Structure 1
Amino acid sequence: MDIQRAIHILIIVLSLSPCLGSAGDIVHRDDNTPKRPGCENNFVLVKVPTWVDRVPDIEYVGVGARFGTTLESKEKHANETRLVLADPPDCCSKPKNKLNHEVLLVHRGGCSFTTKANFAEEVNASAILIINYKTELFKMVCEANETDVDIQIPAVMLPQDAGASLENHIKNNSLVFVQLYSPKRPLVDVAEVFLWLMAVGTILCSSYWSAWTARETAIEQDKLLKDASEELLNSENVSSSGFLDINTTSAVLFVVVASCFLVMLYKLMSLWFLEVLVVLFCIGGVEGLQTCLVALLSCFRWFQHAGESFVKVPLFGAVSYLTLAVCPFCIAFSVIWAVFRRISFAWIGQDILGIALMITVLQIVRVPNLKVGTVLLSCAFLYDIFWVFVSKWVFHESVMIVVARGDRSGEDSIPMLLKIPRMFDPWGGYSVIGFGDIILPGLLVAFSLRYDWLSKKNLRTGYFVWAMTAYGLGLLITYVALNLMDGHGQPALLYIVPFTLGTFLTLGKRRGELKTLWTRGEPEKPCPHIQFQPS
């Protein structure tokens, strides 16, 4: 059990690193260059499919400029146009090219973006593609002293590797044609709906499992308390030894350790380091999956005997035969996912392992009262805001978003998150939510149902329905903010914590039960040895 607890604590710390978001961030934020006439376009991603000697080639992604005309949103309306390399390449003077509505390919640097676009328009180019000197996208804006900007051709920036490839084809005397269009993202993608259902369903299942276990433990303790034997009173610790109660100190330490670990991920993030995270995730996934499967199969009478028969295993102690039978399947499942995690549908295996792991953690790790829950969620609230927004001032980029996306590892993201491909988004990518956005509020929601069951409250008079609804609404507001922010990663706890914690505190205050919730975390029980005499 000590090994299991270590795994669960490690997973909670790891789970605090990702945030909720989706693919598609552009590097430069353009905070100091406001919109003005002639330079007021919204920044949009641009698809650039290419043909080399009339043979379809790679499709690149660029970003449209603040200036120039807007692009078509549908592929069928975009023309295939020949691409020509500018002479001089930087296009800081009038090109020597004689163009007939071709697209001009130029290098960044030497002069302003608008100067390049004006020269390209002057020689009758239909559009201008500017190659960045970095392998990233950059928002092209007007200079602060430029006024009356009037550019009538679209301007698009390409990353360095894409531009270099196109330039090599042209220099090898190949005919290169491009198409420029910017399809619009749907306001809501089905992936976000399924991700919401997965998050809510995970907390719902784990809350009922946790409450059922707590009720069974309470019934067992009541039986022991009815016997006045001191030995039986001491034995009540055996039934609860499988659970890990968080206190206020450990709640603060979780966030402090998670912050240190996040910085370590940020500094050391590489392919080899990501492999270490994958191994840790697989270990936790095996433990979570086998725990969930054993609990599920034990509900059937065919497996009850195997679940109640134990054998002693070194390091793990007494292990049921059912666990031994299920464990090889769980190990094989995790290994297969780890080996094939880069294929298109590997997200299914990752989500199964992740959900099983989170349900297990939420069933074993508990907050004993509302005080600990408030400290934990408040610290996580500040943690999320700092590492998503404030860290940009220190590290010049959002540390949490960089880590969650795995920008420096060569992969899409770290494994400690749920992900679903965006099904109707022309830009593809994934919608993701970090484990921490489910586990941390889930601890409070699970506490609410345990309290309701131990207090014998129904759904109407209890706290669980309100807490569950508050979490669902908080997560829904997060997705609204995500779409309003054009897909840029958002700290989900910024919206979820005020909803869940605020609802719980307000409801407890109005019902006059806040003191009990805050300190005891469970209803008071009369001592069985005290006899009340009727008056």
Structure 2
Amino acid sequence: MSVGTIVCASLWSDFTSPEKSDERYNELCPKESSIAETARDDFDKEIVHIDSKGAIIFVIAASTFLVLLFFFMSSWFVWVLIVLFCIGGIEGMHNCIVSLTVRKGRSCGQKTVSVPLFGETSIFSLVVLLFCVAFAVFWAATRQESYSWIGQDILGICLMITVLQLARLPNIKVATVLLCCAFVYDIFWVFISPVIFHESVMIAVARGDKAGGEAIPMLLRFPRLFDPWGGYDMIGFGDILFPGLLVSFAHRFDKDNGRGASNGYFLWLVIGYGIGLVFTYLGLYLMNGNGQPALLYLVPCTLGVTVILGFIRGELKNLWNYGSDPSLSTEHSEV
């Protein structure tokens, strides 16, 4: 599920962008074409380009929030997180369904209705929104059931696909700052925090030890097969989003420079991410199931692969300053 989420998020723009065959349609229906262009422009304005300073601030803020969760976590606080997760999941699920459906069938978004506070809204979009709200409410009401992991994973995957569309890394320099900070963050709060707080802060928060066992929903779950205790394999959103930002950048870099699967970076990073997950589960096995900082394995297997491949191909300087030095990007795209 983790690998699939990253691949889908990286290729999402390819799935939802107009086909070349739509050019004739745009000529015949200029009004709808202009609406689609406006929607794309609005989406581009929402994109957040992460810089080095923002990456450091984000990791510091995440650490602060984790400590607050550890000391002040209670059942009502977890409920706040559940509500926020549902809101994010609804928006992500709505975005995924609408963008895919409208891409395949243009007629879906043609009929509109006037809605108070929202103005003119597509009927199809409104119906999808109501479905997503009902789905999230059903999950929240049945989150303690054995099948609730399905709804949680669907909402979480849609949320992460949307986040990876809106947040982007401009180059490897920023990716190095972000992933190295996340690397230290994960190791500290899993392995080193017990020395200070007498227990692993990350693991205690993930399990909801101080909230009556009410775990936070910001993770993907999958039931362990043949486990008599009914346990789950879990991976946090951060272990998908941080490497996912780098994998998404690799796809954009390959696309901008006309790279294929063999001479590009995207495929190799997806393979590296998968191998990193294997190492994570190997660490779990060797440490008798004790929680592992997944980024300890995922960062070297993604960022490390990028740096090594870039060095071997003589493209490390271009990757490092990509987007900040137009001459490098232009020179490379002409090759």
Equivalent-residue separation in structure 2 for 1:449 and 1:263 (angstroms): 35
Q: Return the match for 1:281 from 44, 66, 85.
A: 85
Report if the CA contact (8 A) 2:156-2:219 is conserved: yes
Equivalent-residue separation in structure 1 for 2:329 and 2:120 (angstroms): 34
1:184-199 residue pairs with structure 2 within 5 A? 198-199=1-2
For residues 398-449 of structure 1, give each alpha carbon's deviation from its aligned partner in whole angstroms, at most 9, with x where no partner exists: 0000000111111352100011121212332111110110011001001101
Equivalent-residue separation in structure 2 for 1:420 and 1:253 (angstroms): 32
Corresponding residue of 1:209: 12
Q: Can you give the 5+ residue segments of structure 1 that lack an aligned partner in the other structure?
A: 1-197, 221-234, 527-535
Is it true that 1:244 corresponds to 2:67 in the alignment?
A: no
Report if the CA contact (8 A) 2:112-2:122 is conserved: yes
Bigger shift: residues 255-264 or 416-425: 416-425
Equivalent-residue separation in structure 1 for 2:182 and 2:42 (angstroms): 32
What SS does structure 2 have at the residue aligned with 1:433?
Answer: strand
Q: Return the match for 1:339 from 113, 118, 141.
A: 141
1:331 to 1:501, Cα distance in 2 relative to 1, 3 A: same
Corresponding residue of 2:76: 272
Report if the CA contact (8 A) 1:445-1:467 is conserved: yes
1:361 to 1:310, Cα distance in 2 relative to 1, 3 A: farther
Equivalent-residue separation in structure 2 for 1:291 and 1:312 (angstroms): 20
Corresponding residue of 1:464: 266
Equivalent-residue separation in structure 2 for 1:505 and 1:262 (angstroms): 30
Corresponding residue of 1:259: 63
For residues 18-52 of structure 1, give each alpha carbon's deviation from its aligned partner in whole angstroms, at most 9, with x where no partner exists: xxxxxxxxxxxxxxxxxxxxxxxxxxxxxxxxxxx
Corresponding residue of 1:147: none
Letter in 2 for 1:408: K
Corresponding residue of 1:291: 95
Equivalent-residue separation in structure 2 for 1:395 and 1:446 (angstroms): 36
1:505 to 1:210, Cα distance in 2 relative to 1, 3 A: farther
1:122-137 residue pairs with structure 2 within 5 A? none
1:296 to 1:391, Cα distance in 2 relative to 1, 3 A: same
Q: Return the match for 1:524 from 303, 306, 329.
A: 329
1:245-394 residue pairs with structure 2 within 5 A? 245-301=49-105, 304-307=106-109, 320-394=122-196
Equivalent-residue separation in structure 1 for 2:310 and 2:16 (angstroms): 24
Q: CA deviation at 1:361?
A: 0.8
Bigger shift: residues 205-214 or 365-374: 205-214
Letter in 2 for 1:274: V
Report if the CA contact (8 A) 1:452-1:462 is conserved: yes
For residues 238-291 of structure 1, give each alpha carbon's deviation from its aligned partner in whole angstroms, at most 9, with x where no partner exists: 562131111111111110000000011101111111111110100001001101
What SS does structure 2 have at the residue aligned with 1:459?
Answer: coil
What SS does structure 2 have at the residue aligned with 1:473?
Answer: helix
What SS does structure 2 have at the residue aligned with 1:460?
Answer: coil
What SS does structure 2 have at the residue aligned with 1:378?
Answer: helix
1:405 to 1:239, Cα distance in 2 relative to 1, 3 A: closer
What SS does structure 1 have at the residue aligned with 2:137?
Answer: helix
Q: CA deviation at 1:520?
A: 2.1
For residues 62-85 of structure 1, give each alpha carbon's deviation from its aligned partner in whole angstroms, at most 9, with x where no partner exists: xxxxxxxxxxxxxxxxxxxxxxxx
Q: CA deviation at 1:317?
A: 7.7
1:379 to 1:312, Cα distance in 2 relative to 1, 3 A: farther
1:81-96 residue pairs with structure 2 within 5 A? none
Equivalent-residue separation in structure 1 for 2:117 and 2:64 (angstroms): 30
Q: CA deviation at 1:313?
A: 6.6
Equivalent-residue separation in structure 2 for 1:308 and 1:517 (angstroms): 42
What SS does structure 2 have at the residue aligned with 1:266?
Answer: helix
Report if the CA contact (8 A) 1:508-1:514 is conserved: yes
Report if the CA contact (8 A) 1:210-1:362 is conserved: no
Report if the CA contact (8 A) 2:52-2:178 is conserved: yes
Q: CA deviation at 1:325?
A: 2.0
1:346 to 1:381, Cα distance in 2 relative to 1, 3 A: same
Letter in 2 for 1:441: P
1:319 to 1:447, Cα distance in 2 relative to 1, 3 A: farther
RMSD across aligned positions (CA)? 2.5
What SS does structure 1 have at the residue aligned with 2:210?
Answer: coil
Equivalent-residue separation in structure 2 for 1:214 and 1:382 (angstroms): 37
Letter in 2 for 1:390: I
Q: CA deviation at 1:300?
A: 2.5
1:524 to 1:309, Cα distance in 2 relative to 1, 3 A: farther
1:406 to 1:467, Cα distance in 2 relative to 1, 3 A: same
TM-score (ref. length: structure 1)? 0.55
Equivalent-residue separation in structure 2 for 1:215 and 1:245 (angstroms): 24
Letter in 2 for 1:336: F
Equivalent-residue separation in structure 2 for 1:242 and 1:524 (angstroms): 24
Letter in 2 for 1:289: M
1:364 to 1:210, Cα distance in 2 relative to 1, 3 A: farther
Q: Percent identity?
A: 55
Q: Return the match for 2:213 from 400, 411, 423.
A: 411
Letter in 1 for 2:329: E
Equivalent-residue separation in structure 1 for 2:163 and 2:265 (angstroms): 21
Corresponding residue of 1:39: none
Corresponding residue of 1:448: 250
Q: Which has the larger radius of gyration?
A: 1
Equivalent-residue separation in structure 2 for 1:374 and 1:317 (angstroms): 43
Report if the CA contact (8 A) 1:210-1:450 is conserved: no
Report if the CA contact (8 A) 1:207-1:449 is conserved: yes
Corresponding residue of 1:17: none
Equivalent-residue separation in structure 2 for 1:316 and 1:437 (angstroms): 35
Corresponding residue of 1:200: 3
Q: Can you give the 5+ residue segments of structure 2 that lack an aligned partner in the other structure?
A: 24-37
Report if the CA contact (8 A) 2:52-2:177 is conserved: yes
For residues 75-101 of structure 1, give each alpha carbon's deviation from its aligned partner in whole angstroms, at most 9, with x where no partner exists: xxxxxxxxxxxxxxxxxxxxxxxxxxx
Q: Which has the higher helix share?
A: 2
Report if the CA contact (8 A) 2:16-2:100 is conserved: no
Equivalent-residue separation in structure 2 for 1:427 and 1:275 (angstroms): 26
Q: CA deviation at 1:315?
A: 7.0
1:338 to 1:268, Cα distance in 2 relative to 1, 3 A: same
Q: How many residues align?
A: 310
Equivalent-residue separation in structure 2 for 1:272 and 1:393 (angstroms): 29
1:308 to 1:367, Cα distance in 2 relative to 1, 3 A: farther
What SS does structure 1 have at the residue aligned with 2:220?
Answer: strand
Equivalent-residue separation in structure 2 for 1:518 and 1:314 (angstroms): 48
1:313 to 1:519, Cα distance in 2 relative to 1, 3 A: farther
What SS does structure 1 have at the residue aligned with 2:178?
Answer: helix
